[in-house]
Chain A
Amino acid sequence: MRGLLPIAVVVAALAAVPLVVQSNTTLNFLVVTLLIALAGQGWNILGGYGGQYSFGHAAFFGTGAYVTAILQVRYGVNAWLAFGAGIVIGAAVGGIIGALTFRARLRGSYFALVSLAFAEVLRIVASVAPITGAGVGTLVKLDLRVEALQFQSRAAFFWVVLALVAISLLVAQRLERSRFGTWLIAVRENEDAAKALGVNATQVKLCAMMISAAITAAAGCFYTQYFLFVDSGIAFGTRMSIEALLTPIIGGAGTVFGPLLGALVVQAVGEGAKLVAGDAPGLSLIVYGCILILVIAFAPRGLIGLVETSRRRVARPAKREAAHG
């Protein structure tokens, strides 16, 4: 129960924000931040806890986004069902890619490369296939009813994405405390040693990949419902792959709150850069890239790691004094 309290506090505090803040710009900023935090939490399960660095999580984000859009537009499926289907199919895509790559024993840079290649293949297919609307993309009809999973107010969208983030936090927290999570961390630390101890590394990684893909796909499904449009560049482009890995690494990979913290920092700094230098193409990504390098250089365990280290530094001298006294 101990780990649940911080999650409850953070989620409750965030949930109260729309009651205080009415500005649409601020709420929009928070919705996008939570969306990226969600995508990042997906990456965090596989990359942070499992040590498998994917450079192509856009594959899952895009699958979720396209499935949600296509089922509604072309097959008249209810939005809620389409949303669920997006998550399930996203997880299935994760399972397929995972089964192929982990069985071929691809690790480290090889895994990063092949995940990137899968996302690129999907991007090219989506940019020419008729079912995805090819180069034009797919537009979802405006239909502001709860049954259509569209809302009049931004606050409602905010609460929906917050609920998804809350679920993803719980998943990460459960994972940390479960036997499966211990196996996963063992695989990250030393795969050969974990295998020698009887951990079925391939299966553990595959499971983690499916959970990871499902969470990132949920972010894609939400994207479609919020922006009502998706094209191949948004869905499967490298930008989403980069944002999904950036947020947990900056916040703290392999921690429950890392992706949320990272997303807040990244989005805030990106908006700040816009205020200072005007909204120019490429600017926010220049800033993201610099933050990524700086965090790896000076805070290899992310901002959460930084906080923990400094807290210990403060705590230690105090203890010593107590021992002397």
Chain B
Amino acid sequence: MFSPVILITAILNGLLTGAVYALVALGLTLIYGVLHIINFAHGALLSAALFAAFFAFHLLGLDPYLAALLLAPIFFGLGYAIQRLIISPASHGDDRNMLLVTLGLSVVIENALLYAFRADTRTIDLPYAFQTIDLGFTFLPIPRLIGFCVVFAVALVLWAIMRRTDVGKAIRAVAKEKLGAQLAGIEVSHVYAVTFGLGTACVAIAACLLIPTFYVNPSVGEAFVLIAFTIVVLGGMGSVPGALVGGLVIGVVESLSGLFLGESLGQIGIFLIFIAVLLVRPTGLFGARA
């Protein structure tokens, strides 16, 4: 079989990739936890953010890690506007309609990108993209290590926002008891839009972490969104720690099944976990509400 060094390397790589998956899933689970909708446009927004990071580097010469500071607020605003101006008025508060509206949005965004930039796959060249750290028995790519650390920093910031600020309190109140929050004077539609904005900002940061070692094309987000759904379901819908742990687990699963089954079948491992979790334990490992 495989030597322990290869296995450990695969696991470490899986953890590094999984952290970025976790960040995408964090945005999704946040939106689900408060609005109780599955945001099908999440993947398309990730594609859009990857293109934004790509052009920030190409046209403005902006380093992706700096671009994150710029793109996060821009995508926060974009997410806020999408929820406030499109999803909320179009869906009339009906769950099934929200599902369809986000699906419609994802179709529009993804194909608008396809229309504008064609199906070409693009990458950026960074001087440090292939630098590695020598651990003695294996090497780890530096950009992905940075990504790993940033993800946990973002999670910490999110946690602080939720626990320590008035907005966070309002979000938690709405998530728990919408009507009660409304009676207490919280503007629910504003809170919804802020949450959607935060989720979208997570996607923008994830895109900036991905772009140094990854590629971008109009449908790249689709692959991520199914993985993100899997993570969210695995960790329990709406659970933030669940998304983090789920992301790491899925990263390792993908890495190992890629090692054992080959690249194209590696993805199947993820979907099978997804279906199995949904069928056997739809509340996820962390047992949040169904």
Binding site for B on A (CB under 8 A): 51, 53, 55, 100-101, 104-106, 108-110, 112-114, 116-118, 120-121, 124-125, 127-128, 238, 242, 245, 249, 280-283, 285-286, 288-290, 292-294, 296-297, 300
Q: Which residue from B218, B265, B267, B279 sits with its C-beta under 8 Å from A101?
A: B279
B278 touches A53 (CB 8 A): no
Chain A residue numbers with a CB within 8 Å of B100 are: 53, 245, 249, 292, 296
Chain B residue numbers with a CB within 8 Å of A55 are: 40, 103
Q: Which residue from B96, B107, B114 sits with its C-beta under 8 Å from A292?
A: B107
Bound complex: CA A249 to CA B94 (Å): 14
Chain B residue numbers with a CB within 8 Å of A297 are: 89-91, 101
9 A-B pairs closest in CB distance? A282-B114, A289-B107, A282-B111, A289-B108, A297-B90, A292-B104, A285-B111, A282-B115, A109-B38
Task: Name the CB-closest residue of B to A134.
Answer: B264
Encoded as 1 (CB less than 8 Å from any A CB) or 0, chain B from 97 to 139 comes to: 1011101111110111111001100000000000000000000
Given A108-B96, A128-B264, A292-B107, A113:B271 Cβ within 8 A: no
Bound complex: CA A106 to CA B290 (Å): 10
A296 touches B37 (CB 8 A): no
**Given A53-B96, A118-B275, 13 new contacts (CB under 8 A):** A106-B279, A113-B38, A113-B229, A116-B226, A117-B226, A117-B274, A120-B271, A124-B267, A128-B264, A285-B111, A289-B105, A296-B91, A296-B101
Task: Name the CB-closest residue of B to A108.
Answer: B95
A282 touches B112 (CB 8 A): yes
Chain A residue numbers with a CB within 8 Å of B233 are: 113
26 cross-chain CB contacts under 8 A: A53-B100, A100-B279, A105-B282, A108-B99, A109-B38, A109-B95, A114-B274, A114-B279, A116-B226, A121-B268, A127-B264, A242-B107, A281-B115, A281-B118, A282-B111, A282-B112, A282-B115, A282-B218, A285-B107, A292-B107, A293-B108, A296-B91, A296-B100, A296-B101, A296-B104, A297-B90
Bound complex: CA A91 to CA B77 (Å): 45
Task: Name the CB-closest residue of B to A104.
Answer: B279
Chain B min CB distance to A136 (Å): 14
B278 touches A114 (CB 8 A): yes
B86 within 8 A of A: yes
Q: Which has the most chain B C-beta neighbours within 10 Å: A51, A120, A127, A283? A: A120
B164 within 8 A of A: no
Task: Name the CB-closest residue of A to B279.
Answer: A104
Chain B min CB distance to A111 (Å): 9
Bound complex: CA A245 to CA B96 (Å): 12
Given A104-B278, A289-B104, A112:B218 Cβ within 8 A: no
Task: Name the CB-closest residue of A to B90.
Answer: A297
B103 touches A286 (CB 8 A): no
Chain A residue numbers with a CB within 8 Å of B96 are: 51, 53, 108
B254 within 8 A of A: no
A286 touches B275 (CB 8 A): no
Given A124-B268, A293-B104, A109:B111 Cβ within 8 A: no
Bound complex: CA A105 to CA B92 (Å): 26
Chain B residue numbers with a CB within 8 Å of A238 are: 222
Chain B residue numbers with a CB within 8 Å of A294 are: 90
B280 within 8 A of A: yes
Bound complex: CA A289 to CA B279 (Å): 30
B161 within 8 A of A: no
Bound complex: CA A121 to CA B264 (Å): 11
B115 touches A117 (CB 8 A): no
Chain B residue numbers with a CB within 8 Å of A280 are: 115
Bound complex: CA A124 to CA B223 (Å): 12
Bound complex: CA A185 to CA B214 (Å): 47
Bound complex: CA A117 to CA B271 (Å): 6
B115 touches A121 (CB 8 A): no
Chain A residue numbers with a CB within 8 Å of B89 are: 297
B112 touches A109 (CB 8 A): no
B282 touches A104 (CB 8 A): yes
Q: Which residue from A121, A125, A249, A296 sits with its C-beta under 8 Å from B275?
A: A121
B272 within 8 A of A: yes
Bound complex: CA A304 to CA B275 (Å): 36
B111 touches A283 (CB 8 A): yes
Task: Name the CB-closest residue of B to A239.
Answer: B107
Task: Name the CB-closest residue of B to A280.
Answer: B115
Chain A residue numbers with a CB within 8 Å of B111 are: 282-283, 285-286, 289
Given A53-B100, A117-B275, A110:B115 Cβ within 8 A: no
Bound complex: CA A127 to CA B263 (Å): 12
Chain A residue numbers with a CB within 8 Å of B280 are: 104
Bound complex: CA A294 to CA B278 (Å): 32
Q: Which residue from B38, B91, B105 sits with its C-beta under 8 Å from A112?
A: B38
Q: Which residue from A106, A109, A124, A293 sits with its C-beta under 8 Å from B86?
A: A293
B103 touches A242 (CB 8 A): yes
B278 touches A113 (CB 8 A): yes
Chain B residue numbers with a CB within 8 Å of A296 are: 90-91, 97, 100-101, 104
Bound complex: CA A118 to CA B271 (Å): 8
Bound complex: CA A293 to CA B104 (Å): 6
Bound complex: CA A286 to CA B108 (Å): 5
Bound complex: CA A297 to CA B101 (Å): 9
Chain B residue numbers with a CB within 8 Å of A117 are: 226, 229, 271, 274-275, 278
Q: Which has the most chain B C-beta neighbours within 10 Å: A55, A283, A286? A: A286
B265 touches A128 (CB 8 A): yes
Chain B min CB distance to A187 (Å): 14
Task: Name the CB-closest residue of B to A283.
Answer: B115
Task: Name the CB-closest residue of A to B95.
Answer: A108
Chain A residue numbers with a CB within 8 Å of B38 are: 109, 112-113
Chain B residue numbers with a CB within 8 Å of A113 are: 38, 229, 233, 278
